[in-house]
Structure 1
Amino acid sequence: MWYGLPHNNAKGVTQYMNRIYVTGHRNPDTDSIAAAISYAALRNALGNRDYVAAHLGHISDETKRLLDRFGFQEPVTISNVRTQVRDLDFDTPPALNSSVTMDRAWHIMRDQDISAMPIINEDGTLYGMLSAGDIAAYSMRTISDRHVDALPLFNLLSVIEGRILNDGAEQVDRVSGVVTIALPQSCDNLLFSDPDSIILCGNQPDMIRRALDIGVQCII
């Protein structure tokens, strides 16, 4: 029998299926060792692959004497053919910076059909793992908890594809507050009255004017 096993070339790069080990019985006798040596030599003479004679168990003294008598080296020993880490074909998913929005992460997962990806720090070290389940759980949690803390303004603009209208005002890097969707209704029955609010509304001048008078954190 023979096994195709990886080995490292002179540059240290792992190559697969270039070296094939030819073995006999698990507890080899002289015939088994001779057959492994002969077959490996034949295959090397016929092709361009690297065949190596090997044995799986202890070689008897009788076999060792015969090998010495005819000038053959003892075949290499193989203790197991279990998969090693270097044998594995690793996936290389994209790695995202911890400042990237989950919206961006979700689009990458969807486009590349992956269920998780690593999140890294600025220095390239692992910050954590983000899975599609994490994104779904966060999205569901925002239904009952509408408060956001220190939301980076750049991330907000990139997700909604928006721009800042009050460029002349004092700029902030982050916004916090309770996200409230302002529905069309009379000013006497507004859904929001707390300055600690992030208001989402359409083309509703009365809503926007009231939000500005209250001094909410952000109007979208």
Structure 2
Amino acid sequence: MEKTVLVIGHRNPDTDSVCSAIAYAYLKQQLGLNAVPARAGKINPETQFVLEHFGVPVPKLVDDLYPRLSDIRLAQPPTVGPDASLRDVGRLFVEHEGLKSVPVLDQENNIVGIITVGDLAKRYYNELSIQDLDDGETDYRSIVHTLDGQLICGDLTHTFNGKIKIGASEPETLSTAIKNGDLVIIGDRVEAQLAVLEAGAAGLILTRDTEITPIVLQTALRYKAVVISTPYDTYTTARLINQSIQVRLVMTKNLVTLKTTDLLSDVREKMLAAKFVSYPVLERGKYVGMMDRGMMLVPDRQEVILVDHNERSQAVEGIEEAHLLEIIDHHRLGGLTTGAPIFIRQEPVGSTATIVANLTWHRGIELPPALAGILFAAIVSDTLYFRSPTATLFDQDTAKRLAEQAGIKDAEAFAMEVLRHGSAIGTMPVQDIVRNDIKEFDFGEHRITVSQINIMDRQQALERLGELQKALNEFRKQEGYDLSLLMVTDILGEATDLLAAGSPQTQLVHAFGEAAVEGCYHLPGVLSRKKQIIPPLTEAFRKQD
């Protein structure tokens, strides 16, 4: 089956990140690529509104790209049930070259044990048990099957757990040598057969398809003994009968199992610690395949296209383990590196959605109305309906064309509705607010986060200023960041209150001037993180270094 290519935005996704991933995946699908849109975190209320409004499904959540056991092609050896005989298993080892172990499954596909070549070898070479089945119950059906024989009299469902003996002696000797419950392998010697039955044997195994005489049959019926006929000679019968034991009596039951969701790094450690030959792999508790020690734990790397970001700190966890194919973005260049050239489309526009829409049109592909609608909403969200200094005429022209294709009659009214859903500061928990649309940046040795929430009424933010600052500092400590910033952006008032927690804050003063109150900088005219927060911060840290 063709592997999928994930089209995914940054962690803590915003509307532009999610909608651009959906639309760009659609474009790649039209060009013949098996692309699937994905998200790297919980969607916010604004994005939820946009997707529901246009009836577009939420992309699947991808927590990380670290390789898992599900990325490895598992071995699919033949399996047996617990009632299979050792001979059945032995045949599998002969027929499948290189087979090391056979999983034992019940009728509901649950793994109940494993039997290995070593298990069979131990059983075969332990001479004390070659003609001895008293270490486990075996039904006569299994014995008949193993010997390719037929039942002359007796009950196949009854079990046998006694001694196996060869009736080669004289009748008088057999009368004393045979004990009650023994099963005797014997040829066409009628007197010896009768002596064995009279001695209380559980039954006879007649070799070389020996025909039973009427008197022997009557005696067997009288003593309720079992009589089995086999085409094999005495030597072969004696060697084969040990293989009639059912697998459940010999298999290894104390198993170390793996799950398809296990990280390969954890699988390696578990296999090194356990030192078994084979390991059953489970998915939702059911057996799906085997992992052998000799198998190479080298998966096919997940192919990924990044949209709306290009920095390692903002990408989904495990991005370094993936095969990066493309980057579609409108931000500054970050620190991602690749082992080979890739396609990059990076433009100084207000939204990645602008780039995605024009790439689609450039290919001569029309966007479905729903996708045109979500791309329009993404441009509105990222440019604050063209109030942000990042907005360009190209964004406006693209948004106008998208609105027409989506059938949006009153673009401004719908844009305000989108922004209102993104400004729910009065109802959102403070823990969600300080994580909203968050991005991580590295400034030298300092790890810094900048989150942003848009509001329509600054007074709502001022009323929650204290609890927001407390929550921001708790988040910073919990996640181990040096400095965490929260942009509370008043769309209509075209200003931002920048909350800060942690250190160093000297650079904030250099970049934005003195705080209005402790830990809060009021920044008139500031709406864009990308163009009005990150550049002056970068310069302030550069001067310090």
TM bucket normalised to smaller:
0.5 to 0.7
1:179-194, aligned counterparts within 5 Å?
A: 179-183=164-168, 185-190=169-174, 192-194=177-179
1:55-204, aligned counterparts within 5 Å?
A: 83-113=67-97, 114-141=99-126, 143-145=127-129, 146-148=132-134, 149-166=136-153, 173-183=158-168, 185-190=169-174, 192-204=177-189
Residues 102 and 135 of structure 1 are in contact (CA less than 8 Å); yes or no, is this contact kept in structure 2?
yes
TM-aligned CA distance change 1:88 to 1:173, over 3 Å: same
Q: State how far apart, in whole Å, the 1-side matches of 2:149 and 2:166 are.
A: 17
Q: State how far apart, in whole Å, the 1-side matches of 2:144 and 2:92 are.
A: 18
Q: State how far apart, in whole Å, the 2-side matches of 1:136 and 1:111 are.
A: 17
CA-CA distance at 1:173 after TM superposition: 1.8
Query: Could you say what secondary structure the match of 2:198 adopts?
Result: helix
Residue 213, structure 1, aligned to residue 198, structure 2: yes
Deviations 1:164-199 (A, max 9, x none): 1125xx67521221111122x322333732112110
CA-CA distance at 1:48 after TM superposition: 6.6
CA-CA distance at 1:147 after TM superposition: 3.8
Count of residues in Structure 1 that have an aligned counterpart in Structure 2: 150
Residues 176 and 217 of structure 1 are in contact (CA less than 8 Å); yes or no, is this contact kept in structure 2?
no
Q: 151-160 vs 108-117, which deviates more?
A: 108-117
CA-CA distance at 1:116 after TM superposition: 0.5
**Equivalent pairs: percent with the same residue?**
11
CA RMSD, aligned part only?
A: 2.9
TM-aligned CA distance change 1:193 to 1:50, over 3 Å: closer
Q: State how far apart, in whole Å, the 2-side matches of 1:109 and 1:99 are.
A: 17
TM-aligned CA distance change 1:172 to 1:81, over 3 Å: closer
Q: TM-score, normalised by structure 1?
A: 0.58
Q: TM-score, normalised by structure 2?
A: 0.25
Q: State how far apart, in whole Å, the 1-side matches of 2:194 and 2:71 are.
A: 65
Residues 163 and 182 of structure 2 are in contact (CA less than 8 Å); yes or no, is this contact kept in structure 1?
yes
Choose 1 or 2 for highest CA Rg: 2
Unpaired segments of 5 or more residues in structure 2? 7-27, 36-63, 206-545
Instruction: Kindly indicate which of the two structures has a greater share of residues assigned to helix.
Output: 2
Q: State how far apart, in whole Å, the 1-side matches of 2:188 and 2:157 are.
A: 24
Q: State how far apart, in whole Å, the 2-side matches of 1:84 and 1:153 are.
A: 46
Residues 147 and 176 of structure 1 are in contact (CA less than 8 Å); yes or no, is this contact kept in structure 2?
yes
CA-CA distance at 1:104 after TM superposition: 0.4
TM-aligned CA distance change 1:172 to 1:83, over 3 Å: closer
Query: Could you say what secondary structure the match of 1:165 adopts?
Result: strand
Query: Could you say what secondary structure the match of 2:163 adopts?
Result: strand
Residues 181 and 201 of structure 1 are in contact (CA less than 8 Å); yes or no, is this contact kept in structure 2?
yes
CA-CA distance at 1:93 after TM superposition: 1.1
Instruction: Kindly indicate which of the two structures has a greater share of residues assigned to strand.
Output: 1
TM-aligned CA distance change 1:100 to 1:189, over 3 Å: same
**Large movers: runs of 4+ above 4 Å:** 47-51, 80-83
- The higher relative CO (CA closer than 8 Å, separation ≥ 6) is in 2
Residues 172 and 195 of structure 2 are in contact (CA less than 8 Å); yes or no, is this contact kept in structure 1?
no
Residues 186 and 204 of structure 2 are in contact (CA less than 8 Å); yes or no, is this contact kept in structure 1?
yes
1:7-18, aligned counterparts within 5 Å?
A: 15-16=2-3
TM-aligned CA distance change 1:186 to 1:89, over 3 Å: same
Residues 139 and 157 of structure 2 are in contact (CA less than 8 Å); yes or no, is this contact kept in structure 1?
no
Q: Which amino acid aligns with 1:160?
A: L
